[in-house]
Structure 1
Amino acid sequence: MPTPRLTLLGKPGCHLCDDARAIVLEVAGERGLALEERNILDDETLLDRYAEEIPVVLIDDRVHTIWRVDADRLRRALDERQNPA
């Protein structure tokens, strides 16, 4: 199974995005994964879709969570993605 792709959607000056980044980077580091960050202000489609919902964490381009990131929930989701039943 390919390595999961983690993406954080946010924007500068967003304190929830900063909090989410710290958690996602911690979990990504544990798993040896890279984190792609996308600024919704640079993409009108993302801005229209997520303007009121950032930060958004995507796993393989699917929404995992919005606003607050729970490290244990993210770990479980990545484990399930890497080791499907």
Structure 2
Amino acid sequence: MSANGCGRYGTLSRVWRGMTGTLPPFEGCCNEHDLAYEQAETEADRRWADDHFRRCVVARGYRVTGVVLWLLVRVFGGLPSHTQPRRTA
């Protein structure tokens, strides 16, 4: 697995770019989150990755977006097991 932008398969990044002509200003947060999930081995690792992701997006000035994306990854983000497919923010 590798970082693919925001959203599963980078979908949010593509939509954002189509609407604005630029990548999401928090795309780096999404890529960091992808990589953290790749390394996650426990639920605690996954929770840390999700919390760090939310803080990263909020720090870039997108408070509501950060909370919404955090909720999405907490509910749909996959399991902390290298044998399970991962879903990214």
The TM tier, using the shorter chain, reads: 0.3 to 0.5
TM-score by length of 1: 0.34
Q: Which has the higher helix share?
A: 2
Q: Which has the higher strand share?
A: 1
TM-score by length of 2: 0.33
Task: For CA contacts below 8 A with separation 6 or more, give which structure has more relative contact order.
Answer: 1
